[in-house]
Amino acid sequence: MENAPFIHNTAVVDTGSKIGNGTKIWHFSHVMPNAEIGQNCNIGQNVYIDNHSRIGNNVKIQNNVSVYSHVIIEDDCFLGPSMVFTNVINPRAFIERKHEFRTTLVQKGATIGANATILCGIKLGSYCMIGAGAVVTKNVPDFALMVGNPAIQIGWVSKNGHRLHFTEEINHIKLNHEKINVEETNQSDAFIVHSKKTNPDNNGPLQMAVCPETKEYYVLLNGKVEILNV
């Protein structure tokens, strides 16, 4: 079949699992029967995909990663080598806790660096970046850059993974513009339109940044980052 999944002859893919077209599963990996993997994924060497885990499209999983039950990976995510998921908050060898599994959600475009650890029951926001070796213990905002143990946020990154440097050149703009033709205004006015839509009562500090690669504009408002579509 054209563009059928590729499964290395040392990999074990159990009957009942769902694997999308174009996905590659490499040496010594194991996919359990109730796992779901989307299209055009790359599953590296010695990866374990558990029952009741879901992996979206275009996901890259590097060597020695275990995706345990109740872990959900959305499209376009990157899981670095030997990073670790968990699914029980207080495991004991002598107590059965399978009924206590907590769902972990990795949202679209997120990157998790090598040897990072993700505690169960949290959400990693879209396009966030988790630094190598970080231990993440709480929810992560979209576009956030997290490092350390326990992980703390040290900044923001763009969709393409570049550090964003926000400025306050348009600080304290009053959002009293009901209708603006974006094509006839500058980026600051377009920012007002966007902010009015997402938070009409906000009069606080407004900040903007630009991705050096794509030249897309980003807005920082009330501790949240979004792409400015103009």
Give residue 187's pLDDT.
Answer: 46
Domain boundaries, the chain: 6-157, 160-230
Phi, psi of 97 (to 5 degrees): -125, 25
Give residue 204's pLDDT.
Answer: 61
Give residue 181's pLDDT.
Answer: 37
User: Which of the residues in the chain have pLDDT under 50?
Assistant: 171-190, 192-194, 196-197
At 138, the amino acid letter reads K
Conformation bin of residue 82: beta by default, left when phi > 0, alpha when psi is -120 to 50? left
Phi, psi of 37 (to 5 degrees): -125, 130
- How much is the pTM? 0.85
In CATH, what is the architecture of 6-157?
Answer: 3 Solenoid (2.160)
